[in-house]
Chains A and B, each alone.
Chain A
């Protein structure tokens, strides 16, 4: 009997601290599988964010660095420029990449740095208790928007920030795609997109960003399967899936 599916060797065999049903586990595994398939384990450098994935370096069995909140793209730029032979990617959430790190993200993309960004969008700040993030959907209830995100007075919380569409407008950006995790075919598409983003970097083609719509059952207040369905039915309507650039 042949082994069809098992643990990728770049992923440590440990129990993660993520909540049951969290999408981070799937994205970690996809990245580890891509690193194994491209045989770049000895030259890949991951930049961990601040957020739920802050101790991602305990889960991947390759080189990792930890950046200050939002500064993963700046750290990745430095590592890639000093060691151009490495394959550098950042792993960031929406609070990290789209809020405090907006400036670093936009300027790294605008310079066309030859790095890969994996952007895990779950529409809330998971680590700090489910507060509203820039990507929170209109009407979505979070710890800081108990009546839902409002676009008019009295709240005026603004609209969901579509960072992928923003970056796609920049001339130096090579590849931007938005994927999701709500079904096995979508997970396979996500893996393909991550693989292409790494391949672009290996081929020196420039900046790539993959946005992954990921469930956060705990702070959406739903069971894990319902959170996956919510990603498909509500989140994917606001954040359109597919290749943006």
Chain B
């Protein structure tokens, strides 16, 4: 059982995490964040492996991983 938390107001929408998630559970959020950017969100947290690849690649340190 693992899960990730995304700080949506720090996210700049570079989408690097989406391309590195092996399960494809991170998707683009259609709602804008406080900076007026479309951030990413988690689609299904139950599928998360806790591999932390998204967090390792995130340039803005907005992802927390729990396992």
Contacts and interface: CB of A to CB of B under 8 A. Distances in A.
A64 interface: no
Contacts of B61: 7, 11, 25, 29
Contact of A225 (B15, B52, B66): B15
Given A20-B14, A224-B14, A225-B19, A187 B57 contact: yes
A154 interface: no
Contacts of B42: none
Contact of A184 (B3, B10, B53, B67): B53
Contacts of B10: 15
B59 A25 contact: yes
Contact of A1 (B3, B12, B13, B15): B3
How many interface residues does chain B have, given as a range?
Answer: 20 to 34
A206 interface: no
B26 interface: no
A184 B66 contact: no
Given A3-B66, A7-B64, A225-B19, A23 B50 contact: no
A6 B64 contact: yes
B56 interface: yes
Which secondary structure dominates where chain B touches chain A? loop
A4 B35 contact: no
B59 A21 contact: yes
Contacts of A4: 2, 50, 52, 65-67
Interface residues of A, number: 29
B64 A3 contact: yes
B57 A5 contact: no
B15 A5 contact: no
Interface in B15-47: 15-16, 19-20, 35, 37
A18 B14 CA distance: 11
Nearest to A1: B66
Contact of A26 (B1, B53, B59, B63): B59
Interface of A: 1-7, 11, 15-16, 18-26, 29, 183-184, 187-188, 217, 223-225, 228
Given A1-B66, A5-B63, A21-B59, 9 more contacts: A2-B66, A4-B2, A6-B65, A21-B16, A26-B57, A223-B15, A224-B14, A224-B59, A228-B16
